[in-house]
Amino acid sequence: MKNSSNGVSRRALLAVLALIAGLSSGPAMADELSLLVNGKALHLGTPEGKHLNEKNWGLGLQYDWDRGDSKWIPFATASGFIDSNRNPSYYAGGGALRRFQYDGLHADVGAIGFLMTRENFKNNRPFPGVLPVLSVGTESVALNITYVPKVEPKAVPLWFFQLKIKLMEFR
């Protein structure tokens, strides 16, 4: 039974990735493709004796659409990482960020909506979520920060960190 639920969740994740690829190949050409390096989670209020993994290593991609004259940046993303319980976790989704520019630095604030799979949550079937996002950096590299609230009785809230490195720019 576990194999069949893994197959369903992988098919759903592949469908979301195909949708993102389809959205990024039309007349609205993307502006930037970035590598995401997942690496750190800071758990808040972890119960005594509970040892959660805070080294959430993994990789992903983020595709930012050309914003033209707008201060809003729409994006699509997909990523995989080792979660707090040392299991693989995958997500794909998209959102929008509002850019605040300060000389060569920027701060982007917005939200991401996604589908995620987790080994010990909902039998590894994809589930939806929406989270706030803050990204601070330069044109080439930024730090993405997401706050994840407590979502079930066993979970604790956490801050999740990713390094965003620009790979390509499209004109």
Interval 68-92: pLDDT, tens: 778 999 999 999 999 988 999 999 9
- Measured in degrees and rounded to the nearest 5, phi and psi for residue 68 equal 55, -125
pLDDT of residue 90: 96
Residue among 97, 131, 98 at smallest CA distance from 114? 131
Length in residues, the chain: 171
Residues 131-146: what's their mean pLDDT? 96
Tell me how many degrees the CA angle 49-91-15 measures, rounded to the nearest 5. Answer: 150
> Is 60 exceeded by the pLDDT of residue 136?
yes
Higher pLDDT, 171 or 34: 34
pTM, to two decimals: 0.80
Higher pLDDT, 96 or 154: 96
> Is 70 exceeded by the pLDDT of residue 4?
no
User: Which DSSP state fits 4?
Assistant: H
Count CB neighbours of 167 within 10 A. Answer: 10
Which domains are delineated in the chain?
Answer: 2-169 (2.40.160.20)
